[in-house]
Structure formats: structure tokens, C-alpha cells
Amino acid sequence: MIPTRFEYVAPRTAADVVAALDGESRLLAGGTWVVPEMGRAESRPRRVVDLRRAGLATISVEGSRLRLGAMCTYSDLLSSEDVTRHAPLLRTMASGVTGGSALRNQATIGGSVAAARPQSDVPATLVALRADAVVAGPAGSRRVPTAELFLGAGRTTLAVDEVITGFDLPSERMSGHGYVKLKRGGSSWPIVTAAALLRLDDDGRCETAHLVLGGVEAVPMTVDLTIMLGRPLGDQELDVAAARTVAALSAPWTDVLAPGDYRAAVAAPAARRALAMARANVGVTEGERHGRRPDCP
């Protein structure tokens, strides 16, 4: 039950969506976050702009880039062969989202990014994948690296009259990925997530390495792993990466489920495990990957 009154519109194009937006409007994607918020009267928009009919749920591959519509749900990611092939990290991430398939059928990646909850799975994952957000506004469309989108808990660089229409990311076909999520049980939102992507050259040396943690700070935290490049990935290197994770932390996030000191304490093991998993995943075919439970290292 939503106490406050609002007008409801469901535009057919992104341009019409933008036209409907102003300081008193609220975008509605899957609604899994915004509807309960309106129910608690924490949000009291005058106009609800439903994205569902604006055609933003497509998934496609163009060249070596994967294009995801903002309205893709977790289920869409799970059932897409393109995602499995080019960004299996997204698949692993989506398979661990709680709420059951009912929730995964409904909640969107655009909504998760725009909501910018520090604990959410999607933001740090997309940052690790170096995804650009495609943002439509009154002046047209712009691209923003997701890493630059987040300003703080619940805050992004999006203007009130802007909408994310999709994401555009490089294929990670050749990488191994790791995803580790620590939480307090099946009812719990993530406490800390670590997304890792590794590519090795033919000699087993690290060609690219990306590690982004969610939940440890107000925004996704990227750990600079440049020093690992060109080196073989032994346990020692993973220890170095874990140490860099700790060094990268400045202001650990605190919420009711876990205080900052806990997040800080588990960031390094989470990072290390994600990298270890990515290392083990390098060169693993999609079929093999499917048979595994990626979330238990």
C-alpha cells in the first residue's frame, strides 16, 4: 500500500521517458526497490515513469562488446548465451542474487545501478567489467564509465531528468572470473562482494587483472593490480593482491548488518578468494563452468 498520490505513465521510447522526468518524478524499473520505498513513504514522487514499455531489455553483441539494456533482469542475464559467453561473471553474480526466481524475474540491473546501494551485487560487478553506462537525457545520450557513476550511498551522477538506457562492456571471453560474496545467510544482503577477472598469457603470466569490491565502501572499490601484470599467479601474488585490498580501503561502509571494522577485516580474504577462483577459472570452458558451484571456492 502506497500512501501518497502519484500519476503513472509508461512511455514507449527513451526520449519520451526523458521528457516525462523532472524533480518530482521517479523511474520505475522492476520496482523491487522503489515500490517498497514508496510504500514506506520514504519516496513520495508526483509521477511514476515506468520503463517497462520503453524497449530497454535487449541483450546483444556487437563486435567484441556486449550490450545490455538497463531493463535486463537477473533472469535475463541467466538465460542469455551472450552473457554466458562474454561476461560469465554476470551470470555467476546473478545466480547468487537472493529473493528467488520471482525476484530475479523482476529486478533489473539498471535499477540496481541507479539505486547505488553500497551492498548491491551489480554495481561492483559492472565496474569490474569496465562497463559504460549509456545515459539518456534532454541533451541526448552520453556514456559514463560505471566506475565514475557512483558518488556515495544512494547517490550517482545521474541528473533527475536522466535515465540509464543500457550498459556497454568489453567481452571477457578470454578471462577467468571469480566472484565471492560474504553474507549473513539466505535472508541477508551481501556484506562484502569481490569480483575478479584475470587473463593469463600462454606462459601463465598475468596479462590483465581486475578486482573490484562491493560493500566495503560506500561505492565500489577498485583495487589496482598493476603490479601483478607480467607475473605468474602464485599464492604469493594473491597475498600481495589481498594486501593491496586492505591498503585501498579508506572509509569502510557500516550498516545494520555489519559494521565497518568487520567489512575491513574480511575484505582481504574475500578478494583473495575471488582471485583464486578466477585463476582456477582461466581457460575453463562454459560447459565446465556450468557444472560448478562458483560461489563456493
Partner 1 sequence: MDDDLTALEITVNGKRRSATVDRRELLIEALRNRFGVTGPKIGCLTGDCGACTVRLDGLITKSCLRIAVAEDGAEIETLESMSTNGLTGLQESFWDNNAFQCGYCLSGMLFAAEDLLDHNPTPDEDEIRQAISGNLCRCTGYDAIVTAIKRYAERVAESDRRQ
Partner 2 sequence: MEVGLRTAGKSVGRPVRKHDGDAYLTANATYTGDIVLPGTVYAALVRAPLAHALIRSVSTAAAEGATGVIAVVTGEDMIPWCDEIPHGLDAGHLGGHHSAVFPLAVEKVVYAGEPIAAVVATSEADAHAACLMVEVDYEPLPVLLDVESALAADAPILYPAWAENVLIEGHVGNDDFAEVARTAPHVLEGELRTHRGTAAPMEPRTYLADWDAGRQHLTLYASTQNPHVLRTVLAAAMRLREDQIHVVAPKVGGSFGLKMYGSREDFIAPVLARMVGRPVSWVEERAASLLPAAREQVLSYRVAFDDDGGLLALDVEALTDHGAAAPTHGWAMAYVGALSTGLGYAIEHCHVHYRVVVTNKAPWSGTKPFGKDGATLLLERIMERVAAATGVDAGTVRRRNFVAPSAFPYRHTSGLELDSGDYAAALDQTLEILSHERLRADQARLRAQGRYLGIGLGFELMPESADIPGGFVAAYDTSTVRMSPSGRVSVLTGVTSPGTGSDTGICQLVADELGVALDTVSVVQGDTDTCPYGFGNISSRSLVTGGNAAVLAARDVADKIRAAARALLRADYDEPVLIEDGIARLTRDPSRSVSVVEAARAVYTRSYELELDVEPHLESTRTYRPSNIREVPDALGRMQTYTTYPYAVHASVVEVDVETGVVTLLRHVATHDCGTVVNPLMVDGQVTGGVVMGLGAAFSEELVFDDDGIPLTTGFKTYLLPRAVDVPRVELGHLCTPAPGTPLGAKGVGEAGFAGALAAAFNAVNDAVAPLGARLDRTPLSPIAIMRALREARR
Cβ atoms of 125 and 147 closer than 8 Å: no
Q: Which is nearer to ligand FAD, 103 or 240 (CB)?
A: 103
Q: How far is CA 176 from CA 81, 98, 196, 203, in A?
A: 17, 24, 8, 15
38 binds ligand FAD (CB under 6 A): no
CA atoms of 155 and 165, how far apart (whole Å) = 18
Can you say how many angstroms the Cα of residue 76 is from the centroid of all Cα atoms in its chain?
A: 14
59 binds partner 2 (CB under 8 A): no
- Contacted by 196, from ligand FAD, partner 1, partner 2, none: CB < 5 to 8 Å by type: none
105 binds partner 1 (CB under 8 A): yes
182 binds partner 2 (CB under 8 A): yes
Burial of 247 (0-12, 13-18, 19+ CB in 10 A): exposed
Which residues in 118-137 are b (16+ Cβ under 10 Å) and which e? Answer: bbbbbbbbbbbbbbbbbbbb
Q: Which is nearer to ligand FAD, 159 or 174 (CB)?
A: 159
Q: Which is nearer to partner 2, 80 or 92 (CB)?
A: 92
Site for ligand FAD, residues 93 to 132, rule: CB under 6 A: 97-99, 103, 107-108, 110-112, 114-115, 120-122
List the x/- string, 226-265, binding to partner 2 by CB under 8 A.
------------------------------xxxx--x--x
Cβ atoms of 56 and 110 closer than 8 Å: yes
CB 35, min distance to ligand FAD, A = 6
List the x/- string, 26-45, binding to partner 2 by CB under 8 A.
--------------xx----
Closest CA to 222 of 125, 89, 295: 125
Sequence-ordered list of residues with C-beta below 8 angstroms from that of 88, at least 6 positions apart, any chain: 172, 177, 286, 289
Residue number with the shortest CB distance to ligand FAD?
111
Q: Which of left, alpha, beta for 280 (phi over 0: left; psi -120 to 50: alpha)?
A: alpha
CA atoms of 103 and 99, how far apart (whole Å) = 5
- Contacted by 271, from ligand FAD, partner 2, partner 1, none: CB < 5 to 8 Å by type: none
Query: What residues are paired with 96 via a beta bridge?
Result: none
Cell, residue 150: 557512483
Which residues here bind ligand FAD, judged by CB under 6 A? 26-34, 51, 70, 97-99, 103, 107-108, 110-112, 114-115, 120-122, 158, 163-164, 189-190
Interacting residue ranges for partner 2, rule: CB under 8 A:
1-5, 40-41, 182, 184-189, 191, 256-259, 262, 265-266, 269-270
Q: Which residues bind partner 1 (CB under 8 A)?
A: 1-8, 10, 28, 30-32, 35-36, 39, 48, 50, 52, 75, 98-103, 105-106, 186-187
